[in-house]
Amino acid sequence: MLPIQQTIKNNDWLKTVINVVLFQLCWLACVVGGNQWALAALLLLVVIHASWIVGQDQLLSEVRLVLPLISLGILFDTILMQIEWLIFPHDSGVTIPFWLMALWLAFASTVRHSMSGILKKPWVAVLFGALGAPWSYYLGDQLGAVTVTTNALIAISLFWGLLLLAVCVQLQKTEAADGSF
């Protein structure tokens, strides 16, 4: 293991900062760069996340949490796209563009790490999801990556509030079962 990896593995504060920075860089790369930058951003995020932030003993547990979140997010956003509440000017597929799928993975990578403090208080998590997520989509709209209708913003607010509440409940069950989180 490289010295920097050892330093990061033993420093929770540094892992949190790296997790936040990785998410923000991935968000920016995906929203501004679209599919062209999404793959590179995603690969960087996955490599650093798996090698520096998540311990080998936590990898399976991390995957079990991340996969359902990604699946739910892609399904939700695809439904919004199909009913034309989210419109992607540069993409016209059956599902949401790859860059938004990559963002769902980037978000899921924060749940046990940089978002863990927020997720320990369900009411804070609900407010964070209900207020923060629509802003993220709105910013994507302002940057030209997506057109977001008012109905979409309302649905996103409700979905994200409920999603983060469900994540809180799941993480509390996991913590009770194995002491993680």
Q: Please check the confidence at residue 132 and state whether its pLDDT lies above 80.
A: yes
Contact 116, 30 (CB under 8 A): no
Q: Please check the confidence at residue 84 and state whether its pLDDT lies above 90.
A: yes
State the pLDDT at residue 169. Answer: 92
Q: How does residue 1 score in pLDDT terms, banded at 50, 70 and 90?
A: low
Give the chain's length: 181
Mean per-residue pLDDT for 102-122?
91
State the pLDDT at residue 180. Answer: 55
Q: Please check the confidence at residue 5 and state whether its pLDDT lies above 70.
A: no
**CB-based burial label for 108 (10 Å; 0-12, 13-18, 19+):** buried
pLDDT digits (tens, 9 = 90+) for 133-151: 999 999 999 999 999 999 9
CA distance linking residue 51 with residue 113, whole number of Å: 14
Only one residue has tokens 């920075």, namely 21
Q: Please check the confidence at residue 86 and state whether its pLDDT lies above 60.
A: yes
State the pLDDT at residue 15. Answer: 83
Q: How does residue 34 score in pLDDT terms, banded at 50, 70 and 90?
A: very high
Residues linked to residue 87 through DSSP beta bridges, in sequence order? 147
CA atoms within 13 A on the CB side of 129: 25
State the pLDDT at residue 92. Answer: 81
pLDDT digits (tens, 9 = 90+) for 39-65: 999 999 888 888 777 877 777 888 888
Alpha helices in 54-108 (DSSP H): 59-82, 98-108
State the pLDDT at residue 61. Answer: 81
The end-to-end CA distance of the chain, in Å, is 25
Query: 4-13, 100-109, 140-149 — which is least confidently predicted?
Result: 4-13
